[in-house]
Amino acid sequence: MANTKTAKENILITRRNAKRNLHYKTRMKTLVKKALLAVESGAEDREKIVREALRNIDKTVSKGVVKKSTAARKKSRLAIRLHKSLTTAAQA
C-alpha cells in the first residue's frame, strides 16, 4: 500500500490511464480483426475497412498506447494480407 499522498494519487492516475488505454487497445484489436475477416472473406469494401483499421492503429500510437514499432508491424502484416487478397482476386 502507498504511504505518501503523491504515491496514492499516482495509483489513481495509473488506474485511470490503464482504463483509457484499454479502450484504445480494444478498439484497435476489434478493427484489425474485422479487417482480417474482410480480407479473408474477400469482401467488396475490404480496402475501406483496412484503411479504417490502419487509421485507428495510427491514432493509438499518437495517444501513446502502443509503440511505433508495434503499430508498424501490425500495419505491415495487414497490408501484406490485403495485397495478397487483391492480387489473387485480380488473377482469378
Mean pLDDT to the nearest integer, 76-89: 92
Q: Per-residue pLDDT for 22 more than 70?
A: yes
CATH number of 5-91: 1.20.58.110
| Residue type for position 46 | R
Domain residue ranges of the chain, discontinuous segments joined by +: 5-91
Residues 6+ apart with CB under 8 A from 43: 49
pTM for this model (two decimals): 0.86
For 34-49, what is each residue's pLDDT tens digit?
999 999 998 899 999 9
Confidence category of residue 92, pLDDT binned at 50, 70, 90: low
